[in-house]
Structure 1
Amino acid sequence: MLSTLGTWMSAAADLCAGRGIPLVFGEGWIGYTPLNGTFEEGPIGAEFCRHAVRSSAEAGAWGTIVCSNAAPHHPMWSHTALQRECSELFLHHAERS
Structure 2
Amino acid sequence: MLLLNCPYCGVDAEETELSPGGEAHLTRHGPGSSEEEFHDYLFTRENPRGVHFERWRHAHGCGKWFHAARCTQTLEVFGTYTAQTSEPPQHIRDAISEKRPGWQWRGLS
TM-score grouping bracket, smaller chain normalisation:
under 0.3
Higher strand proportion: 2
TM-score using structure 2 length: 0.24
Query: Relative contact order (alpha carbons < 8 A, sep ≥ 6): 1 or 2 greater?
Result: 1
